[in-house]
Homo-oligomer: A and B are copies of this chain.
Amino acid sequence: MESKNIGPVELREAWWLLTPEDRIEGFQLLEPDDAEEFFFDLSADDQAELVLTLRPGARRLWLRLLPPDDAADLIQAADEEHREQLLRLLDENTRREVGALLAYEEDEAGGLMSSRFARARPDMRVDEAISYLRKQAIGTSELETIYYVYVLDAQQRLLGIASFRELFASPGERTMREVMSTDLVTAHEEMDQESLALLFAAHDLLAIPVVDDEGRMKGIVTVDDIVDVVQEEATEDIQKYGGMEALDEPYLRIGLFDLLRKRVGWLAILFVGELFTASALQEFQHQLNSLTVLALFLPLIISSGGNSGSQASTLVIRAMAVGEVRLRDWWRVARRELTSGLILGTILGLIGVGRVTLGHLIGLQPSEHLAKFSLTIAFSLTGVVLFGTIAGSMLPLLLRRIGLDPASASAPLVATMVDVTGIVIYMTAATLILF
């Protein structure tokens, strides 16, 4: 850092490129207000790294600025050996709350929730509740949301909800029990974050209360945390779909070794699967030897199956991720893809025949077998595309059925499956028609 004229914008721009030492130096050059905002906007990983680089006094100060759910995320992001030490920096109340949050998995409702929400008793009057809430808000700057008020009984069981707007619009002398809505959308504390995101999307809510087995309210999850969840889940799905493990870290930040580790596994599995193409072709070596023109069209035919399979698996994986397609819809999906595969295969078959005829007209392919060869190409393309769409659409459903992630039915995996089958279809058609 040569210059002292660094603002939060410049620092954010340069962040990825800086070493931990440069980061801390840049951070300490910020105006206090800017620094605070900058710190809040960092990811939990970056916050943890930054806090651990600070000297102990400053470390405590910054950690205590965070609300409990964010503090829990930061501590979760730190290395195992630093967690205990970071926890001890918190005041006792917050430490208890953070400790409770850390007991949940990071990707379930309990791990995402905040335990600081606005509460009221059912027999409170609306105007009492409003001034009670005002006191809660003044007493603690940490109350996460006051756009919903949660009405709890003495056992902390959730009885009803009133939005702040409803409270404001209600006559002051009515009781909370009268104005609250009892038509509740709640999440169990162990609900996974993907289902939680679907719940938010289905109901357009700003916050969802989290309850335990007995219906006792444990906290709330707010929709702003869900935006991140939806992005993360989509990233994981897309990366799996591209034929690798989910990185769980930004692409430019993950270490090269970790990056390779996440990629090489699937690449090797696919490679071993693809080895079967050589074995399959070996079975038909006699045909290839006597009619080498067959080899020319081999990549074309098998890749057409891979492409149509890739389309079908994308459609089904994504439809399952957003809840549009469920296991029991498998027959409707199969019917659609059967029809689609036949039509798409026929179209590609026709283009293929056009190419063969053209090749014949300009004298590139042997002419003696033209009609039979065209028939082979057309039949193979239709068959391979049909097989691709069926395999691509059914594989994600099958994976879900046996408890695996549908997103693992990646484009490369489907392509590999179809390559081997495509060779068998093509060479069998050739054998039957041409020999």
Q: Which residues of A contact B (CB under 8 A)?
A: 33, 37, 40-41, 133-134, 137-138, 141, 143, 145-147, 164-165, 168-169, 183, 197, 200-206, 222-228, 230-231, 234-235, 237-239, 241-244, 247, 250-252, 256, 259-260, 263-264, 266-268, 270-272, 274-275, 277-278, 281-282, 285, 288-289, 292, 295-300, 302-304, 306-308, 310-311, 313-319, 322, 324-325, 329, 332-333, 336, 339-340, 343-344, 347-348, 351-352, 355, 359, 364, 410-412, 415-416, 419, 423
Contact = CB atoms under 8 A, between A and B. Distances in A.
Contacts of A343: 260
B307 A270 contact: yes
Copies of this chain, how many?
A: 2
B311 A243 contact: yes
A37 to B, nearest CB: 7
Contacts of A197: 227, 231
A363 B260 CA distance: 34
Given A165-B143, A238-B237, A355-B278, A224 B200 contact: yes
Contact of A234 (B204, B230, B264): B230
Which of A138, A222, A264, A310: most chain B CB closer than 10 A? Answer: A310
A231 B141 CA distance: 32
A428 to B, nearest CB: 16
Contact of A303 (B143, B359, B419): B419
A343 to B, nearest CB: 6
A16 B388 CA distance: 26
A200 B230 CA distance: 13
Contacts of A411: 242-243, 310, 411-412
B264 A344 contact: yes
A421 to B, nearest CB: 12
Nearest to A134: B168
A202 to B, nearest CB: 6
A343 B73 CA distance: 35
19 contacts: A41-B202, A41-B203, A146-B147, A146-B164, A147-B206, A200-B227, A204-B224, A223-B227, A234-B238, A241-B314, A242-B311, A252-B324, A259-B336, A263-B311, A267-B307, A281-B295, A298-B299, A299-B299, A415-B415
A314 B242 contact: yes
Given A164-B164, A263-B344, A340-B259, A206 B234 contact: no
A1 to B, nearest CB: 21
Contact of A347 (B37, B268, B302): B268
Contact of A325 (B251, B260, B311): B251
A92 to B, nearest CB: 23
A252 B272 CA distance: 35
Nearest to A289: B292
Contacts of A165: 137, 141, 143, 146
Which of A134, A288, A318: most chain B CB closer than 10 A? Answer: A318
Contact of A296 (B40, B256, B282): B282
B412 A307 contact: yes
Q: Give 9 closest A-B pairs by Cβ, nearest first.
A: A242-B314, A234-B234, A411-B411, A277-B299, A137-B168, A251-B319, A307-B412, A295-B295, A138-B169
B137 A239 contact: no
Contacts of A329: 252
Nearest to A300: B274
Given A146-B168, A260-B344, A299 B281 contact: yes
Nearest to A249: B324
Contacts of A238: 234, 237-238, 241, 314, 317-318
Contact of A267 (B325, B348, B355): B348
Given A278-B300, A298-B299, 19 more contacts: A41-B204, A147-B206, A206-B222, A242-B314, A243-B314, A251-B316, A252-B336, A263-B311, A267-B347, A271-B352, A274-B300, A277-B300, A278-B355, A282-B364, A295-B298, A299-B302, A299-B419, A307-B416, A411-B412
A325 B250 CA distance: 9
